Amino acid sequence: MKKIKAAVLSGTDKDFEIKTLQITEELAPHDVRVHMVASGICHTDEAVRNGQGGQFPFPAVLGHEGAGIVTEVGRAVRSTKPGDHVVLCYDYDGYCKNCLNGRPAACVNWNRLNMEGTRIDDSVPFFTEDGTPVKMLFNQSSFASETIVDDRNVTVIDKKIDLRKVGPLGCGFVTGSGTVFNGLKPEVGSSLVIFGTGAVGLGALMAAKITGCSKVICVDIVPKRLELAESLGADFVINSKESDPVAEIRKITDGGANYVIDTTGITPVMQQAFEALASGGTFAPLAVTRHEFKIDHPFADLTSYEKTVKGVLMGEAVPQKAIPELIEFWQAGKFPFDRLEKFYSIEQINEANQASISGEVIKPVLIIDPDYQPA
């Protein structure tokens, strides 16, 4: 087996440790071997680390916002070839009824493929030096110098694009933008409120401006993040430490918002988000959290106002379609996601993760290959 470097998590609430692992040299027919250049850190990684995402098997290599260069492919792979530059996203089976209907984020095997720590045949590509299997996340595990993924994890991009920047398009930014583009599909002139101005929330903000929402409102408790939201096009910002967000939203929208997104996963905030809806409005709670959201009186609070609570996973995005579209928006100056990024070396992963947890940095990006030079 070949030796690689990876950030390994040994258990819940542990720090990441940089270790030497072994990676299998034999590829299955649909496998793609990727030399990793960079990876974003997502709040889902932290939810797995701290247990908010539920039980997860350890030891594990996390990371699911990877970007790198294909070095080898299995004999059945047709979507990519060695030398291609790629962004990695979630896995899906490609043959269930939802995948065949163009909804891979609703794949009936989504959790099995992405959140149970192994590939579909229960195997893993990573092992400790003494032979202990090391689990995966999103069939990707991008916090490693090399990984093996399925060809459905892969989206090929132009080699001129800086791979250090685009990994977060594989989760945080595609989730936020896709929730608007695909999940909510707001009408031109509608109002949309976003609770939480992290990567997902700001991705939703930029998408809302592209779609033509006339009143885009961002709610947070950190003044610098609200200032950033304004610079990205928010029409109104509300500091919920200083004023009642529900009252302010109702005032701005003349009764309530058409669409509301919550990215915080905090119970009282989710309740506020639901209360801020107008009659006929739709609420999308997006955070990976074990906190509760309740509707105590379904008829009085939901049915009689024809409100909708909608689950949207991964922005309902088809990665191979959505990621190139986001890159086009970025190149046109309409989706400046790279303004939200800060680079760290992979050895600084714990520092970078803490900066994400605290809100100091919107999107930390780990540089895994420091020798990479963009074209």
Q: Is 241 exposed, middle or buried (CB count within 10 Å of its CB: 0-12, 13-18, 19+)?
A: exposed
What is the dihedral sign for C-alpha 45, 48, 49, 50? positive
Would 2-157+336-367 and 179-313 be classified into the same CATH topology?
A: no
- Residue by residue, what is the 3-state secondary structure of 39-61? EECCHHHHHHHHCCCCCCCCCEE
- 3 state SS of 183: helix
How far separated are the first and last CA of the chain, in Å rounded? 32
Backbone φ, ψ for residue 31 (5° rounding): -80, 150
Q: Rounded to an integer, what distance in angstroms lies between the CA atom of residue 371 and that of residue 255? A: 54
Cross-strand bridge partners of residue 22: 3, 127
The residue written with tokens 């918002």 in the block is: 257
Q: Give the type of residue at 171.
A: C
Report if pTM > 0.75. Answer: yes
Dump pLDDT digits (tens) for 32-76: 999 999 999 999 999 999 999 889 999 999 999 999 999 999 999
Question: How far apart are alpha carbons 100 and 46 in whole angstroms?
Answer: 32
Q: What whole-number distance in Å separates Cα of residue 180 and Cα of residue 246?
A: 21
Whole-number Å distance between alpha carbons of 188 and 120:
42
Burial class of residue 348 in the structure, from the number of CB atoms within 10 Å of its CB (0-12 exposed, 13-18 middle, 19+ buried): middle
Strands 60-61 and 66-73: unpaired
| DSSP 8-state secondary structure symbol assigned to residue 135 | B
Q: Return the amino acid letter for 260.
A: V
CATH of domain 179-313: 3.40.50.720
User: Is there a contact between 264 and 287 (Cβ–Cβ < 8 Å)?
Assistant: yes
**C-alpha distances in Å from residue 70, one per residue of 83, 90, 127, 150:** 5, 17, 21, 12
Burial letters for 178-202: b for 16+ Cβ neighbours within 10 Å, e otherwise? bbbbbbbebeeebbbbbbbbbbbbb
CA 225/CA 336 separation, integer angstroms? 15
Count CB-CB contacts under 10 A for residue 306: 12
Residue 266 to residue 215: CA distance in whole angstroms: 24
Per-residue pLDDT at 1: 86
CATH level 3 topology of 2-157+336-367: Quinone Oxidoreductase; Chain A, domain 1 (3.90.180)
Q: How far apart are CA 266 and CA 242, in angstroms?
A: 18
Regions of the chain short of the pLDDT cut 50: none
pLDDT per position as a tens digit, 122-161: 999 999 999 999 999 999 999 999 999 999 999 999 999 9
Say what the pLDDT of residue 353 is.
97
Alpha helix ranges (H) inside 157-298: 163-166, 172-178, 199-211, 223-231, 245-253, 267-275
**Residue 286 near residue 261 (C-beta atoms within 8 A):** yes
Q: Token match 């890159």: residue?
A: 327
CA 56 to CA 156: how far, in whole Å?
A: 30
Question: What are the tokens at 143?
Answer: 């916090």
Question: What residue spans define the domains of the chain?
Answer: 2-157+336-367, 179-313
- pLDDT value at position 48? 96
